[in-house]
Amino acid sequence: MTIYTVKRGDTLWGISRRYGTSVDALAFDNQIDAPYTLSVGQALVIQTSDVNHIVARGESLYSIARRYGVSVSAILAANPSITNANMLYPGQRVVIPRSGTPTRGIDVNGYTTSLNMGRIGETFPYLTYVSPFSYEVDAAGQLLPLNDATLIAAAASERVASLMSVTNTKPGGGFSSDIAHAVLTDGTAQDAFVQNVLNTLTSRSYYGLIIDFEYVYPFDRESYNGLLRRLSEALHARGFLLVSAVAPKISGDQVGTLYEAHDYPVHGEVCDLVNIMTYEWGYLKGPAMAVSPIGPVTQVLDYAVTAIPPRKILMGMANYGYDWTLPFVQGSSAKVLTNAAATSLAARTGAEIKYDGASQSPYFNYYSNSVRHEVWFDDARSYRARLGLVADYNLAGVSYWTIDNLFRPGYLVMQDMYSINKVL
């Protein structure tokens, strides 16, 4: 696969001719609608047999080979101009030979808030697990049910295992520290919660549980650890998987209600997988910036792999962007955009898409009614950069928030780099 950056004067027809493919294939893979208007700076995935990798500062032939799941000798054979394997330079083009399916397999989870098969069905080949979001627990340990039977059956028919997602959210939305406190400290409520989870896992034919308790009071940290140990024993005795979702921490003593009760070493000890939510640096009510800048994501992983076995870690992958009005005003909200909608917006407004090397993320500016806007989103380049961290840190895989809106280029990049594990 090649990722091509659109230049001024490019057309989809011209690019298709250059790479020996068709306009229809390029339009489909990149979710471009007629009349096929392109933006300068737009990244296009082109399904070619080889990958052209541009060497970044600090990369070695070994790290590049590991990232793409090929051998150093195979890269050297495809690049006769490289006479010294220890001397690469930034900006150098290296051909990565691709033959057959990548050998490195990863687990891929996808959260969904939609039960519409027409919207999410195309993602199933790219998933190991799907997690309907979510069963909500109340202070008495009772679960608000989901109408999830059709989704679970459809996923199973595509060899995708379903994970029961449970949250401490209150009716109308928002995580509740008080609900979590009740379930964690009231014996009767916790007994009811564990039994209701087991009943639902069994009756709905779930493969396992993903528990997502957020904003847990710091003083409930040990109680949360205790619940995880109890769930681990109960679920594993019945053959179910246990997954936890945790905030993106950079140290064990990071301060804040979002972080303190998430004890990475305990989650790594008792859970089968730990989903680290590495997104929302750029967020709805914050200033304009990348949603998942690679620097902060790397900081989180640097700590995480010291506390959790790497092959238990799922790195969170954002599947959305934001459109901010400028200048940013505290208390204002950005508009949520899909990645496909962001590129369409750039084409419609004539904006040039730029790529920020520090965050490894695309962005652009445009004007509407004389008001300046800034959009940060993801494209094939940013996905390839972050997905490369899975190999760099030897992680289990990734978890998408969410699969509700299709981003075909991102899945094609992932499929080009890794094979997708199936447990069914």
What pLDDT digit, counting tens, does each position of 147-160 carry?
999 999 999 999 99
Q: Taking Cα atoms as reference points, which of 120, 67, 29, 69 lies closest to residue 384?
A: 67
DSSP labels, 282-344: S-TTS-S--SS-HHHHHHHHHHHHHHS-GGGEEEEEE--EEEEESS--TT--PEEE-HHHHHH
Note whether 80 and 41 are within 8 A (CB).
Answer: no
Q: Mean pLDDT lowest for which of 94-98, 114-118, 193-197, 321-325? A: 114-118
Instruction: Give me the chain's average pLDDT, please.
Output: 95
Residue with the two structure tokens 């109408």: 147
Note whether 104 and 419 are within 8 A (CB).
Answer: yes
Outline where DSSP puts E strands in 13-134.
43-46, 51-54, 93-96, 105-112, 129-132
**How far is residue 64's CA from residue 277's CA, in Å, rounded to a whole number?**
26
Note whether 375 and 343 are within 8 A (CB).
Answer: no
pLDDT(101) > 70: no
Active-site entry in 136, 214, 260, 374: 214
- Report pLDDT for 141: 98
- Report pLDDT for 356: 98
Domain ranges of the chain: 2-96, 105-324+376-420
What pLDDT digit, counting tens, does each position of 335-393 carry?
999 999 999 999 999 999 999 999 999 999 999 999 999 999 999 999 999 999 999 99
- Report pLDDT for 19: 83
Tell me 352's DSSP state: P
- Report pLDDT for 54: 85
* CATH number 3.20.20.80 given to 105-324+376-420: yes
Q: pTM score, two decimals?
A: 0.91
Is 214 a residue of the active site? yes
Helix axes 61-68, 380-392, angle to 10 degrees: 100
**How far is residue 76's CA from residue 94's CA, in Å, rounded to a whole number?**
9
Confidence of residue 100 (pLDDT cuts 50, 70, 90): low
Same fold, 2-96 and 105-324+376-420: no
CATH architecture of 2-96: Roll (3.10)
Q: How far apart are the first and last CA of the chain?
A: 28
**How far is residue 369's CA from residue 358's CA, in Å, rounded to a whole number?**
31
What pLDDT digit, counting tens, does each position of 35-84 carry?
999 999 999 999 877 777 889 888 999 888 877 777 898 899 889 889 88
